[in-house]
Structure 1
Amino acid sequence: MRRQVFSLNRSIHRSMVIMLMTGSLLGSGPAALASQSALTPSQNPAQATAAPSATLGQAMGANLAELPQFGQNFSTFRLENGMQVVVIPDHRAPVVTHMVWYKAGAADEKPGISGIAHFLEHLMFKGTKAHPDGEFSKIVASLGGEENAFTTQDYTAYYQRVAKQHLGLMMELEADRMANLQLTDEQVKPELKVILEERAMRIDSNPSALLSESLDAVLYRNHPYGIPVIGWEHEMEQLDRQDAIDWYNEYYTPNNAILIVAGDISEDEVRDLARKTYGKVERRAEPEARIRPHEPPQRTARSLTFTDERVNQASVRQAYGTPSDSTAENGEAQALDLLGYILGSGTNSRLYKTLVIDNKIATSAGAYYQGTGLDDTRMLFYGTPAADHTVGDVLAGIRTEIDKIIKDGVSEEEVARAKRSLLAQTFYAQDNQAALARIVGTALSTGQSLDELRKWPEHLAEVTPEQIKAVADKYLQAHRSVTGYLLPPGASITPSSAQDDKKCSDVDQAIPKAREMSYPKDPPRASQKVPNPQARPQGQPKPKPQAEGTPSAANDKAAPSSATAE
């Protein structure tokens, strides 16, 4: 039985997780989504704590000082083997969401074995002595339940949603494969072909996904976020059973895992069941501290152009490196959330109103901040030119709106509206079991605590217009940009006004010089062996990918990419 595949991006801020899990953006959307290798789940069951009351509207009106509580009934404890357990009560229906999160993702992979985190996620369904290949999924299906699994840069997670009386069985099954996974070459080799075909279908055959990968490779030159979750094909081809076993033994240990149970259950019930199942799993390893290379300061704008015959509509996307929720200074992450909303979220955003409605330069335009991540992440802008306009026009328009905020700031009214929207999304997430489990798991897997999560609405409400202006000035300077152009043959990136008078004048500052990058019309399928001068001997470090043709994870409104995998 094959798992259903969904996709999500590596580091989507809380409000985006909420929208995804409630179904409005399943699989893709303006706020960053892209498929990646099968990279991420996105189920949407029903949820957790009490629904927001009328005080929500009052608190998010003129007075933001008194906010409805978020996550106050969450509880957490640890088993003796080090496994953290979080309980999210919701007694409205006899249903539970059961998730196990491992603090290991693609960015934790050693050089030369990209894709192993996602590959093992697939192999975890191959069975144990007690529950052979395929039995796990058959049991869940026979109970009328749902299941999925997903890999991102920072974590890997496994998910089931069942009637509450089956929670103990889900814990038994998940604990069994945490301790007793059995793999043979006969199981591993066919699954390797599956993930190679997955890459061929989702990335290599999609110009937008290829540009997204390349954009991240150029943005993250020193940090492993520049390597796609699904992996580079020439390294994926060399993955084997031992690579998977080594990854499993190092990271799939209870002291590196988080159990989240949301639903019609009490903390005492979860504690008792967890001790009887997960509590019996011995810790196999002590994972090292997750210390990754940092990006050096970016002092010049970077850009790349991808021209491909399969592209029908030109588009542009532009990324800026930013801190994440876990790495930002006090208040910066919340200010970036609000900045992204004001600039690019929905039809009331500055970019949409100016570029699409007023000036009719673009048919789409937006921006979003990807806040969840163990390390620094990014803010991404995107747009599609209208007829008689170019991606250069769109990019110049985006730059103009950014510069307006850097120079003049934002209004109190804009900030209040953005706060109301983001806070509403956060509080309404409490009406969805899976959304809450996902939010909590993401936060805890990327270096945050439950207390920090509870205080996020309060910290968001405290952000001032001056703080939003400050983060725009600090992180959105033109020299810190990485721009990607996706073009059909013959399309131009030069602004239409500059084409008329043969000069770019002031727009030169907004349009980074782009390198041309081409891709074969019919890329080789993953099953075909393509000579690769960069293929490394087993165990040797991989060469640094070239900026122009290499994929990594990135994503805009419509681009499958490689930030999450299923």
Structure 2
Amino acid sequence: MKKLISLIFTLTILVFQMNLYSQKIFPFEIKEHKLSNGLKVIVVPYNSPGIVAYYTVVRTGSRNEVEPGKTGFAHFFEHMMFRGTEKYSDVEYNRILKLLGADSNAWTSNDQTVYHIVASADALETIVDIESDRFKNLKYNKEQFQTEAGAILGEYNKSALNPFQILNEEMQKLAFTTHTYRHTTIGFLEDIKDMPNQYDYSLQFFDRYYRPEYCTIIVVGDVSFNKVIYLIEKYYGDWKRGSFEPNIPAEPEQKEERSKEVKYPNKTLPYLYIGYKVPAFDSKSKDVAALNVISELLFSETSELYQKLVLDEKLVDFISGEMPMDRDPSLFRIYTRVKDEKNVERVKQEIYNAIEKLKLEQVSPKKLADVLSNMKYSFLHSLDNADAIASTLAYYVSVTGNPYSLDEFYQTL
């Protein structure tokens, strides 16, 4: 891993100078409420006639899987939460959603598990009822647990057909020796294989993290704040808070570059994956802002590196560089697929050269202004429906606990 300190410092100064007068970017009013049990509620009234997006953000992801041999349970509950309760079985739950014409799904990442429904605003009370019930009263037996655990193994085996998934898993294990970011969201294979034997632990995991103090409800759409709060208090008010706090191990400082060649059993073009240790997401950090700008300057489709490697010399199929949005220090990820194995070292050197050039040569104010403008325009352009707005807020809330961190981040850019 190489350091980007001087590069970050240079861009930090430029970003700071250009944004002395920046204003809030989120164009909608955010209203908040907190129940006595710790459950947070965020409401964004939005002109989406007859439509509401209802998100439940659980600030628990693979980061929270602290016990050895117990990885993958945050992702497991993404599946298990659709198994039903005594009041609403899985069949009844799905029947209600179908009757409402609602769209329901979930996703898991390092720091969060997010459940979301998009439905008619007229059905808001029904949605609050069935969602509160499954979060308070999820019920499943050992046989159902083992069936779902087997499905997780099938999902892992399917994803392993993609060589990049294997490469990403190896990168996590190489980059992190102690912190729980060492394992991917789906978990270590040996833990997944043992998961059918962990029924009792699954109940413990649910009891720890599916509590009001870990959750935030986000409601966006054709709704009134007062009605939403009335319904949330009515259906979630008796949800008892917990007391568990995980001890997330800190990753020791890395003092040397690490590398590994990963063999893939099937035929594939070579992938190149480079990671740099970077700080945790902080909406007010100029270093974090600079690193997000770096990802655009170096790896967007308008960058010199993309033009050279993808379009002109056609050495790679694609190239991407991403600054993560994680609660703890993580990895800036650069990855590409090289068309010919003999060019891997050349492509790697081109990436390093582009980084060095950015360190040594000041970015022109116009170019930087164009990048910042495009980043902000793209963000605003994405907020074109209730679901997209709720999804965006879910990311910021799950990482920072604060919906206004979104504005803070764009003010820092």
TM surpasses 0.5: yes
- The match for 1:446 is 399
**CA-to-aligned-CA distance 1:439-482 (integer Å, 9 cap, x gap):** 2222122124223222222211xxxxxxxxxxxxxxxxxxxxxx
> Which SS does the other structure have where 2:394 is aligned?
helix
Counterpart among 78, 98, 106 of residue 34 in structure 2: 78
User: Structure 1's 63 and 293: CA in aligned 2 closer, same or farther, altered over 3 A?
Assistant: closer
> Which SS does the other structure have where 2:260 is aligned?
strand
CA distance in 1, matches of 2:273, 2:122: 48
2:360 is matched by which residue type in structure 1?
K
- The match for 1:507 is none
- The match for 1:202 is 159
* Same amino acid, percent of matched pairs: 27
Are the equivalent residues in 1 in contact too, given 2:76–2:152 (CA < 8 A)?
A: yes
> Which SS does the other structure have where 2:207 is aligned?
helix
- The match for 1:35 is none
Are the equivalent residues in 1 in contact too, given 2:164–2:271 (CA < 8 A)?
A: no
2:306 is matched by which residue type in structure 1?
Y
**2:318 matches 1:364:** yes
> Which SS does the other structure have where 1:231 is aligned?
coil
**2:177 matches 1:221:** yes
> Which SS does the other structure have where 1:415 is aligned?
helix
Are the equivalent residues in 2 in contact too, given 1:443–1:449 (CA < 8 A)?
A: yes
**2:89 matches 1:136:** no
User: Structure 1's 124 and 362: CA in aligned 2 closer, same or farther, altered over 3 A?
Assistant: closer
CA distance in 1, matches of 2:400, 2:234: 28
Aligned-residue RMSD, C-alpha? 2.1
TM-score by length of 2: 0.89
- The match for 1:351 is 305
User: Structure 1's 427 and 134: CA in aligned 2 closer, same or farther, altered over 3 A?
Assistant: same
**2:178 matches 1:178:** no
2:234 is matched by which residue type in structure 1?
K
> Which SS does the other structure have where 2:277 is aligned?
strand
Are the equivalent residues in 2 in contact too, given 1:101–1:158 (CA < 8 A)?
A: yes
CA distance in 1, matches of 2:168, 2:176: 12
> Which SS does the other structure have where 2:297 is aligned?
helix
2:74 is matched by which residue type in structure 1?
A
Counterpart among 93, 96, 106 of residue 62 in structure 2: 106
Q: What are the within-5 Å matches in structure 2 for residues 271-290 of structure 1? A: 271-283=229-241, 285-288=242-245, 290=246
User: Structure 1's 194 and 458: CA in aligned 2 closer, same or farther, altered over 3 A?
Assistant: same
- The match for 2:211 is 253
- The match for 1:340 is 295
CA distance in 2, matches of 1:150, 1:63: 34
CA deviation after TM superposition for structure 1 residue 135, in Å: 2.1
Are the equivalent residues in 2 in contact too, given 1:113–1:235 (CA < 8 A)?
A: yes
> Which SS does the other structure have where 1:148 is aligned?
strand
- The match for 2:12 is none
- The match for 1:49 is none
2:259 is matched by which residue type in structure 1?
S
CA deviation after TM superposition for structure 1 residue 329, in Å: 6.8
**2:74 matches 1:121:** no
CA deviation after TM superposition for structure 1 residue 352, in Å: 0.6
1:195 is matched by which residue type in structure 2?
I
CA distance in 2, matches of 1:124, 1:356: 42
Which consecutive residues of structure 2, in runs of 5 or more, have no partner in the other structure? Answer: 1-17
User: Structure 1's 351 and 247: CA in aligned 2 closer, same or farther, altered over 3 A?
Assistant: same
Relative contact order higher in (CA < 8 Å, ≥ 6 apart)? 1
CA deviation after TM superposition for structure 1 residue 71, in Å: 4.8
Are the equivalent residues in 1 in contact too, given 2:269–2:339 (CA < 8 A)?
A: no
**CA-to-aligned-CA distance 1:507-555 (integer Å, 9 cap, x gap):** xxxxxxxxxxxxxxxxxxxxxxxxxxxxxxxxxxxxxxxxxxxxxxxxx
Are the equivalent residues in 1 in contact too, given 2:270–2:339 (CA < 8 A)?
A: no
Are the equivalent residues in 2 in contact too, given 1:384–1:394 (CA < 8 A)?
A: no
Bigger fraction of residues in helix: 2
- The match for 2:191 is 235
Aligned length: 393
Q: What are the within-5 Å matches in structure 2 for residues 82-101 of structure 1? A: 82-101=38-57
CA deviation after TM superposition for structure 1 residue 361, in Å: 3.9
User: Structure 1's 458 and 329: CA in aligned 2 closer, same or farther, altered over 3 A?
Assistant: closer
CA distance in 2, matches of 1:338, 1:234: 38
**CA-to-aligned-CA distance 1:22-75 (integer Å, 9 cap, x gap):** xxxxxxxxxxxxxxxxxxxxxxxxxxxxxxxxxxxxxxxx99945564155011
Are the equivalent residues in 1 in contact too, given 2:54–2:219 (CA < 8 A)?
A: yes
CA distance in 2, matches of 1:306, 1:87: 46
| Residue range with higher mean Cα deviation, 400-409 or 386-395 | 386-395
- The match for 2:11 is none
Q: What are the within-5 Å matches in structure 2 for residues 484-499 of structure 1? A: none
- The match for 1:378 is 331
User: Structure 1's 356 and 233: CA in aligned 2 closer, same or farther, altered over 3 A?
Assistant: closer
Which consecutive residues of structure 1, in runs of 5 or more, have no partner in the other structure? Answer: 1-61, 461-566
1:193 is matched by which residue type in structure 2?
G
CA distance in 1, matches of 2:355, 2:19: 29
